[in-house]
Amino acid sequence: MMSPTEFFRGYLATLDEALKKIDVEKVEQLVHWLRQARDNGQQIFVCGNGGSAATATHFVCDMLKGASYSRARRFRILGLADNLSVLTAYANDVGYEVVFVEQLRNLARPGDVVMALSGSGNSPNVIRAVEYANSIGCRTVGLTGRDGGLLGKVVQLEIRVPDSHMGRIEDGHLVLCHLVAYYFMEVDRGD
């Protein structure tokens, strides 16, 4: 049996390889879009399920507080999985596949940014949200893994963590979110 230390070293080495393969030019494009949204007063929406919902919420927190507090220009960013009452009302009364798209129908406008996180890239509620966002002229971003799934094909900007292990994909998504948030916290402060 493999020892815990051997497992940990192997996991971290594989994660390190996946992180090194992330296309940082695409991350820079995301930063550019978010900067434009901030500077133009546009809204940013973030969505995902399960661990991806938790990462989306974490990213929203970092951008609302860390990248906006005491700044002249602030981010208008909302996590679509964060309003539990709205989420469960749509899930119960209509269907889970509409929990994000119906919120966007109320709130999104052309030029806004919709960022979707999905390790598999195949979550129907995420796909519907992105397809709607594309149809009204939003900029769409997908943080994916594996082969990108359908999400990788429908977003305008895909940033993929090239690994098949869901844990490492989600680790990579959190690293990506921290890269972006800390860039705005430490470099492009919007002052």
Q: For residue 35, what are the CA distances in angstroms to 54, 79, 119, 135?
A: 23, 18, 25, 22
Question: Buried b / exposed e across 40-54, counting CB within 10 Å, b at 16+?
Answer: eebbbbbbbbebbbb
CATH (residue range 4-186)? 3.40.50.10490
Q: What are the residue ranges in the chain where pLDDT is below 50?
A: none
What pLDDT digit, counting tens, does each position of 159-174 carry? 999 999 999 999 999 9
What pLDDT digit, counting tens, does each position of 142-158 carry? 999 999 999 999 999 99
According to DSSP, the residues that pair with 141 across neighbouring strands are: 115, 157
Reduce the DSSP state of residue 143 to 3 states and report it: strand
H or E segment to which residue 160 belongs: strand 157-161
